[in-house]
Structure 1
Amino acid sequence: MLQAEVRQLRQAIASHIVVDQAIGVVIVVGRLAPKQGWDVLKDVSQHTNTKLRDVAGQVVEWANGGPLPETTRRALDTALDRAR
């Protein structure tokens, strides 16, 4: 039981780190305030019906030269336009 809780806490910390990195990417790309970066990331998650941590992972991968799924890219563009 305790090991399962520790595993869940470690996963939560790892997810939080990736989400923070993704917010940073969104802030830089969109030239936004930190709160707006968080809102954009949530908006993309909701409009693509994708878990926030998964969207964050995609954004971080994209920032490192990887692909960004087309659905996520469209939702990100739309959310950035709304935030500006």
Structure 2
Amino acid sequence: MTDEKDLLDKIAALQREVDQLRHALVSHAVVDQAIGVLRAVHGLDGQESWDVLQRVSQNTNVKLREVAEDVLRWAASGRLPDAIGPALREAVTAVGPRFALAPGDGAATP
């Protein structure tokens, strides 16, 4: 009987791990896409884009994945949440943008 319970516990633990890994894969994709947006719009390299996302997340107390989702929505709609816009501008400026598209060039600059 104990062996059966141990087996069921192990199965449950493995299922939780699989669920966490699936969630991590989705989060990773969202963050990678947001890094791409920051690279394209601001001319940052991959590390600088990652640093921007981290800085915005820390300064706004918003999870990194949520910041990345906001950046993706901004790329699609040109709108950022009020708390994210100023923090994103500040973070991009801090890492030293190489260029930014001007309004009317197809992207809204935060």
TM-score between the two structures when normalised by the length of structure 2: 0.72
Q: Which runs of 5+ in 2 are unaligned?
A: 1-11, 97-110
Match of 1:64 in 2: 76
Is 1:76–2:88 an aligned residue pair? yes
Residue number in structure 2 paired with 1:26? 38
Aligned to 1:70, the other structure's residue is in SS state coil
**CA distance 1:64–1:81, shift in 2 (3 Å):** same
Give the deviation of 1:36 after TM superposition.
0.5
Q: How many residues align?
A: 84
Which SS does the other structure have where 1:40 is aligned? helix
Question: Identity rate of aligned residues, in percent?
Answer: 51
Of structures 1 and 2, the larger Rg is shown by 2
Matches within 5 A, 1:23-62: 23-62=35-74
Normalising by the residue count of structure 1, what TM-score does the alignment of the two structures yield?
0.92
Question: 1:67, CA displacement in angstroms?
Answer: 3.0
CA distance in 2, matches of 1:29, 1:83: 14
Larger RCO, structures 1/2 (Cα 8 Å, 6+ apart)? 1
Q: Is the 8 A contact 1:23 1:37 kept in 2?
A: yes
1:21-57 deviation per Cα after TM superposition (whole angstroms, max 9, x unaligned):
0111111121111110110110110110111011011
Tell me, yes or no, if the aligned pair for 1:45 and 1:51 is still in contact at 8 Å: yes
- 2:59 and 2:87 map into 1 onto residues whose CA distance is 7
2:70 partner letter: Q
More helix by percentage: 1
Contact 1:26 1:41 in 2 (8 A): no
